[in-house]
Amino acid sequence: TTMCTYVDDCKLEADRRRRETVWKCIRLMFESDDPMEIMAFLGVKCEGPLIRGPSYKMYFHQSEYIDNMLEDYRQMHKRDPRPCTTVGQAGSPPDTTNTEKRSGGTTVRSTLGSSSYAVRGTRPDGCFSTNRLGRYVDKWDPDWCPKELHHLMGYFRETIGYQLVMANYGDA
């Protein structure tokens, strides 16, 4: 029997004799030796598994992390984002070819950093807007950029309960 474990995009293979050594290392790194008991890792919450016969589903979300991100946004920007169901606003981004270099500031960078972490974890739906705003951090347009950032935070507020689902449907 072979055990394969993926850790940060690296594949670790072990035969039966080395498997025990690998599990000892994993047990030292985590409080639990059973991956089913791990409920959160780096802000990502895990719920499940929901087992039905040979199939199962596990749910991953960052609702607590996103709630904290929205609270930080409220405190830094002194505004509460209005809930919305679409990512990004309708307008097109500004033409920055003749725009003077103007920074979005540390509060913008902090908000975009938090948003980047969320979209890399369980919220790939916000990736395009987050990356598009990141391109304008050093050429911050005071008309378009704050509206786009506010809209993105409103989208996260409206969709805070979204989850990623990992499913195995048995031998189907």
Structure tokens at 87: 């990512």
Instruction: Round to whole Å and give the CA distance between 126 and 41.
Output: 21
Q: Give the C-alpha separation, 81 to 151, whole Å.
A: 7
pLDDT of residue 6: 45
Q: What is the pLDDT of residue 42?
A: 66
- Element containing residue 44 per DSSP (H, E): strand 44-52
- pLDDT < 50 positions in the chain: 1-11, 33
Distance CA 140, CA 135 (A): 9
Confidence at residue 21, expressed as pLDDT on a 0 to 100 scale: 66
pLDDT of residue 92: 78
